[in-house]
Amino acid sequence: MNASDPGMIDNFGRRFGYVRLSVTEICNFRCLYCLPDGYRKTADPGFLTPDEILRLVRALTGLGIRKLRLTGGEPTIRTDLTEIITRVAAVPGISKCALTTNGWNLDRHAAEWVEAGLTHLNVSVDSLDPAQFAGITGHDRLDEILAGIDRALSLPLAAVKLNAVLLADSVSEGFGNWAEYVRHRRLSVRFIELMRTGDNREFFSRQHVSGNLLRQWLDTEGWVPCARGADDGPAVEFSHPDFQGRIGLIAPYAPGFCDGCNRLRVTARGRLRLCLFASDGPDSPDGCDLRDLLRHDGQTDALHARVLDALRFKRAGHALHAADPGNLVNLSRTGG
């Protein structure tokens, strides 16, 4: 594509400049909503190599991708993560190189990743109560993760954000403790409505709560919506004059949630996913495999053609309201 091309636009006028790239399906946590029994190997790892990742990112920038997020599983399990960050962050056209992590390795390696080119960081922290955190994740590591977050805040990152899944059990503790956490920290805490997957039906029925609970609390406490950036994701963030940080909400069950979709996903095995909750056709794990075009150089045009062809099949929205998560087994396997 040349400079005059409009980039990737689907049949609904949505423009795509953001890709979430999973680098592993493996996770060392046992979060109740994702992998309560821990990671179970389903096949030989066969995850994308650094060379394949580099070819993919180079090709996607030619289609207008400017923001890249490395996800998993838990991406920091990969011993070559710093090499991957170094290589993709240097690709011409990539203006934001982000990482989503559970934070277990953050205090030890945050400075190394930033030096390699990391610009944005998201950390999953589902509770500030140590016992509750351990109950959700299967690990008593909250103190070291919070220390890693403070370490990250001392580094030249453009943004640090925390993700917390809204659960009926944890909502009971209220949002005030989270507000106090961001009072003197320049970061955002975004609460994510629990989503149905193939593996969590019973857990979902017990634990799902509406994001309206958070909206009502924010309104009562004087928090106001912030202006949105051009390439922002689905979170709506709120600010308060007495707090340095922000509180946000990602509400996939809210009306119009998919209207502003701006992201594509690529799994750790090199399959394009147009939606986290795809079900069949090209928008499925088996429907658009890119890996055969990533093994060698010289396949950029073919990659462009395959991605653009698949984009024609992107749907207007997911079917979560019909209790249909598509063929999403769990978030770890796809790169939630």
Q: Which CATH number fits domain 8-334: 3.20.20.70, 3.30.70.1560, 1.10.10.10, 1.10.3470.10?
A: 3.20.20.70
Its pTM surpasses 0.85:
yes
| Nearest residue to 32 via CA among 150, 290, 220, 206 | 206
Per-residue pLDDT, 287:
60
Per-residue pLDDT of the chain (336 residues; tens, 9 = 90+): 444 455 799 999 999 999 999 999 999 999 988 888 888 877 676 899 999 999 999 999 999 999 999 999 999 999 999 999 999 999 999 999 999 999 999 999 999 999 999 999 999 999 999 999 999 999 999 999 999 999 999 999 999 999 999 999 888 777 999 999 999 999 999 999 988 876 788 888 899 899 999 999 999 999 999 988 766 778 899 999 999 999 999 988 888 778 888 999 999 999 999 887 776 555 554 568 999 999 999 999 999 999 999 999 888 878 666 566 566 666 666 665
What is the CB neighbour count within 10 angstroms for residue 241? 7
Per-residue pLDDT, 1:
44
What residues does each domain of the chain span?
A: 8-334
Per-residue pLDDT, 8:
93
Per-residue pLDDT, 2:
44
Contact 330, 35 (CB under 8 A): yes
Per-residue pLDDT, 200:
81
Per-residue pLDDT, 326:
62
**How far apart are the C-alpha atoms of 106 and 311, rounded to whole Å?**
35
| Nearest residue to 123 via CA among 105, 149, 144 | 149
